[in-house]
A and B are shown apart, each in its own frame.
Chain A
């Protein structure tokens, strides 16, 4: 946690400094807490990424390949030819400033280079210098800069201070997506071995074991069985997890954090209880044991590499279609990249809920349905019995995670579910939800401990909105549909809005879910009494 108190941290000056932004120097030593450690040699070697070595951003010499400028120049040129997005985004910005105060990192730090427009200009200035006539002739007057070592260091600092949340893109009159620019910049930096460990290590783990956490198959199985035993002991509910079953109807893909750590595990158990109750013929996979994909924060090639296992496993197991659990960036990949990269999927069938008969036309090609779409359809068709009063101790709000919001538009499904499984639901202020939602500030590989100050700073807009509903409506639980959120929001809430806990949506579904032959439930999935404890303690 940051040493500064919230009152200290919020003393932010959003007015830009006198120093011109074109000066690239970053003092890493004095800014500890706002950057992430470089990629470890082992992971980089395992993945065959460029330039494995020991180094630190505070070093003078970053031990780059001798011709690193040429490598980046060539890589840039190649990408300009391969991505229309990059070309158009490099050439159309008018610097109107509409995006400037939309980034959570700018709001929380006041650092002008966290204005999305300047973040993009860091790359655009090199583009102008290297690839445009005006930049070549007029230099700085036309906004051009040479790619020096200091510029590369500045790239490292600021492109690993963007969570690729796409909030800026919503407001830009040309839809310029700084997340896309960040993705390109990170790809270029990867070419010379400038990266962070919090993406390299999960990527290497994921490639080897199938999941970011490096959980091997036997542990995968043990973890899941342990969670189920706990459920049995606590609530007397039996679920039979299914793993690697050939011929199941549905392959269920989850983010690994869900079966690894609280509070994700409650959501994980929630999925299994739901499937148990409706009798879904599903299987999980110890090989495709991760839906998340840190390739998204590394390079397009890495996305494809890590995503490969999903369809590969669906084919091997002979399932008909796929359901995906609650995870944000995983769903950006499944929705916007998977089919293009690793499709087509003629060996699967158009998803059709065996319980309701609903055909998911919107997933006709990828054959992959979001669990919230699946569950909303169950509730709508009254196929499950719910007792929302079992969630009465919670006063719930919903955090729209960046990717399901701005790369899918999944807004109503989770809300519909929440309103059916709990009685007390409150929205955060309008400009902080749905497409305007604010990031948890720990996505895109930035959710590590060494970056904690920057996470808390970037978490200010979300934290402040949460504090607002906590004070106005006594909200004590923020639900979300993202595994990264479930890891990054607890410290954020503890800092900016103490007293609010974090949960997934399916944890609340399972609390409310009336199961066949169940004994009366007195406890929720967390093993806590269903009634608020405050009532008993007030008159002590």
Chain B
């Protein structure tokens, strides 16, 4: 049900963008005004969110330790799973952010009830799909720089030629475009087919996937079916940069769908689970060293709480203490 509602929502958004082709004013609105505003919302929104997190104090140092601690010198500690200092934390975060190390540990429980056996089987599908999706998305976004920057930076060109290595189709089909769509497709199917994941999914979980799929597919089709005129697009983008709004010429419905869905993504990002991207950097169970006993962690709001003091305790149990021969502080 939630999956359907989200699909309809994304479809309606796409159709809305198609209407833009009809009039010059709407072309300006959908081609220039909305994307500009959306990008501003994205920037301000994300910065606001991250500052709010960053400003929230970290009263306790609570890393989740997933390996041997550093204690006695002859016991080998696992610095990446249980960092003892900043270097280890940087390493842990590096692996976490770029290679989804925790997800790599994933297992699947198997219950064989008639044999009274519980098994835990390593499973890497989610990890592989997540890696494929995020990395291809990163490269796709990176490739977009050829529209924004003039002259096109050398790195972008190199990545682009590597990406088009297989030389299939005219224009060349990039490997990451295909991978992006396939991996998103897998994540969507998984959400619908795996009973547990389906059960925990909110409508918005589907919305994010449909939106990204809509963006990826419309972009792909635009490149290979509509074959938009890049020069015009670049002109329109250059217009944003100089705050002169220009409606792009010579582009069709797919372009408007693509750009509008990206705009929706921008606006949606700071208000949704997509915040996991900045969030992963700020997670106190991952980005702190497990050196609690070696180095004191300060809680900025440490409340002035005092427990039951020894003097109070001695007074309360005075007679019993005396009877069983304790030496008292106060006679």
Chain A residues proximal to chain B, CB less than 8 Å? 6-7, 10-12, 14-16, 21, 80-85, 87-89, 91-98, 100-102, 107, 112, 115, 117-118, 121, 132-134, 138, 141-143, 166, 169-177, 180, 207-210, 216-218, 221-222, 243-244, 246, 286-287, 300-301, 304-309, 312-313, 316, 334-337, 339-341, 343-344, 358, 360-366, 368, 370, 373, 376-377, 380, 405-413, 416, 429, 431-432, 435-436, 460-461, 464-465, 467
CB distance from A116 to the nearest CB of B (A): 10
Given the interface contacts A97-B194, A143-B204, A365-B295, does A307 sit within 8 Å of B307 by beta carbon? Answer: yes
**Would B56 and A81 count as touching, CB distance under 8 A?**
yes
User: CA of A155 to CA of B233 in the docked complex: distance in angstroms?
Assistant: 53
Chain B, residue nearest A14 (CB): B111
**Would B273 and A95 count as touching, CB distance under 8 A?**
yes
**Would B56 and A80 count as touching, CB distance under 8 A?**
yes
Question: 0/1 per residue, B273-297, Cβ < 8 Å to A?
Answer: 1011001101111100011111111
Chain B, residue nearest A220 (CB): B324
**Would B285 and A85 count as touching, CB distance under 8 A?**
yes
B residues less than 8 Å from A171 (CB atoms) = 102-103, 105-107
**Would B285 and A169 count as touching, CB distance under 8 A?**
yes
User: CA of A360 to CA of B313 in the docked complex: distance in angstroms?
Assistant: 32
**Would A341 and B299 count as touching, CB distance under 8 A?**
yes
Number of interface residues of B (CB under 8 A): 100
Near A by CB (< 8 A), chain B positions 189-215 give 194-205
CB distance from A400 to the nearest CB of B (A): 11
Say yes or no: is B72 at the interface (Cβ < 8 Å to chain A): yes
Given the interface contacts A84-B56, A101-B196, A173-B280, does A141 sit within 8 Å of B5 by beta carbon? Answer: yes
Say yes or no: is B166 at the interface (Cβ < 8 Å to chain A): no
**Would A362 and B69 count as touching, CB distance under 8 A?**
yes
Given the interface contacts A132-B271, A336-B60, does A413 sit within 8 Å of B75 by beta carbon? Answer: yes
Which among B153-161, B258-266, B315-323 touches the partner chain?
B315-323
**Would B113 and A335 count as touching, CB distance under 8 A?**
no
A-B contact pairs, 23 of them (CB 8 A): A88-B53, A96-B103, A97-B197, A98-B126, A100-B196, A101-B108, A115-B200, A118-B200, A143-B202, A173-B103, A175-B286, A217-B321, A300-B59, A305-B306, A305-B308, A339-B297, A340-B299, A341-B299, A362-B72, A362-B293, A365-B296, A366-B296, A380-B74
Given the interface contacts A312-B307, A362-B69, does A180 sit within 8 Å of B296 by beta carbon? Answer: no
**Would A174 and B276 count as touching, CB distance under 8 A?**
yes
User: CA of A56 to CA of B154 in the docked complex: distance in angstroms?
Assistant: 70
**Would B102 and A173 count as touching, CB distance under 8 A?**
yes
CB distance from B49 to the nearest CB of A (A): 8
**Would A306 and B307 count as touching, CB distance under 8 A?**
yes
User: CA of A94 to CA of B57 in the docked complex: distance in angstroms?
Assistant: 23
Given the interface contacts A7-B116, A171-B103, does A340 sit within 8 Å of B297 by beta carbon? Answer: yes
**Would B308 and A84 count as touching, CB distance under 8 A?**
no
Known: A100-B196, A340-B299. 9 other contacts (CB 8 A): A101-B108, A112-B200, A171-B105, A216-B320, A336-B61, A408-B69, A412-B76, A413-B72, A429-B120
**Would A142 and B105 count as touching, CB distance under 8 A?**
no
**Would B205 and A95 count as touching, CB distance under 8 A?**
yes
**Would A409 and B65 count as touching, CB distance under 8 A?**
yes
Near A by CB (< 8 A), chain B positions 70-93 give 70-72, 74-78, 81-82
CB distance from A355 to the nearest CB of B (A): 14
A residues less than 8 Å from B107 (CB atoms) = 101-102, 171, 431, 436
Question: 0/1 per residue, B42-59, Cβ < 8 Å to A?
Answer: 000000010011101111
**Would B64 and A175 count as touching, CB distance under 8 A?**
yes
User: CA of A114 to CA of B307 in the docked complex: distance in angstroms?
Assistant: 35
A residues less than 8 Å from B141 (CB atoms) = none
**Would B302 and A244 count as touching, CB distance under 8 A?**
no
Q: Which of A134, A340, A467 contacts B272 (CB 8 A)?
A: A134
Total CB contacts across the A-B interface at under 8 A: 325
User: CA of A84 to CA of B49 in the docked complex: distance in angstroms?
Assistant: 12
Q: Which of A121, A307, A405 contacts B65 (CB 8 A)?
A: A405
User: CA of A172 to CA of B202 in the docked complex: distance in angstroms?
Assistant: 18
**Would B64 and A406 count as touching, CB distance under 8 A?**
yes
Say yes or no: is B170 at the interface (Cβ < 8 Å to chain A): no
**Would A101 and B109 count as touching, CB distance under 8 A?**
yes
Say yes or no: is B226 at the interface (Cβ < 8 Å to chain A): no
Say yes or no: is B168 at the interface (Cβ < 8 Å to chain A): no
B residues less than 8 Å from A117 (CB atoms) = 200
**Would B65 and A365 count as touching, CB distance under 8 A?**
no
B residues less than 8 Å from A107 (CB atoms) = 109, 111, 118
Say yes or no: is B327 at the interface (Cβ < 8 Å to chain A): yes
**Would B317 and A363 count as touching, CB distance under 8 A?**
no
CB distance from A314 to the nearest CB of B (A): 11
**Would A435 and B296 count as touching, CB distance under 8 A?**
no
**Would A84 and B282 count as touching, CB distance under 8 A?**
yes
**Would B116 and A10 count as touching, CB distance under 8 A?**
yes
User: CA of A21 to CA of B195 in the docked complex: distance in angstroms?
Assistant: 13
A residues less than 8 Å from B100 (CB atoms) = 173
Say yes or no: is B151 at the interface (Cβ < 8 Å to chain A): no
User: CA of A360 to CA of B203 in the docked complex: distance in angstroms?
Assistant: 52
**Would A141 and B118 count as touching, CB distance under 8 A?**
no
CB distance from A347 to the nearest CB of B (A): 14
Say yes or no: is B68 at the interface (Cβ < 8 Å to chain A): yes
Q: Which of A172, A309, A344 contacts B307 (CB 8 A)?
A: A309
**Would A409 and B56 count as touching, CB distance under 8 A?**
no
Given the interface contacts A173-B96, A175-B285, does A222 sit within 8 Å of B57 by beta carbon? Answer: no
User: CA of A100 to CA of B307 in the docked complex: distance in angstroms?
Assistant: 39
Chain B, residue nearest A16 (CB): B199
Q: Which of A11, A177, A373 has the most CB of B within 10 A?
A: A177
**Would A313 and B59 count as touching, CB distance under 8 A?**
no
Say yes or no: is B169 at the interface (Cβ < 8 Å to chain A): no
User: CA of A173 to CA of B52 in the docked complex: distance in angstroms?
Assistant: 22
Given the interface contacts A309-B307, A407-B65, does A10 sit within 8 Å of B111 by beta carbon? Answer: yes
Question: 0/1 per residue, B1-38, Cβ < 8 Å to A?
Answer: 01001000000000000000000000000000000000
B residues less than 8 Å from A365 (CB atoms) = 292-296
**Would A84 and B120 count as touching, CB distance under 8 A?**
no
Given the interface contacts A81-B56, A405-B65, does A312 sit within 8 Å of B303 by beta carbon? Answer: no
A residues less than 8 Å from B60 (CB atoms) = 300, 336-337, 340
A residues less than 8 Å from B71 (CB atoms) = 360, 362, 370, 373, 410, 413
A residues less than 8 Å from B109 (CB atoms) = 14, 101, 107
Chain B, residue nearest A107 (CB): B109
**Would A121 and B327 count as touching, CB distance under 8 A?**
no
CB distance from A364 to the nearest CB of B (A): 5
B residues less than 8 Å from A80 (CB atoms) = 56
Given the interface contacts A84-B53, A97-B197, A380-B74, does A175 sit within 8 Å of B283 by beta carbon? Answer: yes
Given the interface contacts A132-B271, A177-B64, A368-B293, does A82 sit within 8 Å of B56 by beta carbon? Answer: yes
CB distance from B113 to the nearest CB of A (A): 5
A residues less than 8 Å from B306 (CB atoms) = 305, 308
User: CA of A373 to CA of B294 in the docked complex: distance in angstroms?
Assistant: 14
**Would B326 and A286 count as touching, CB distance under 8 A?**
yes
Say yes or no: is B62 at the interface (Cβ < 8 Å to chain A): yes
Q: Which of A15, A334, A409, A461 has the most CB of B within 10 A?
A: A409
B residues less than 8 Å from A429 (CB atoms) = 120
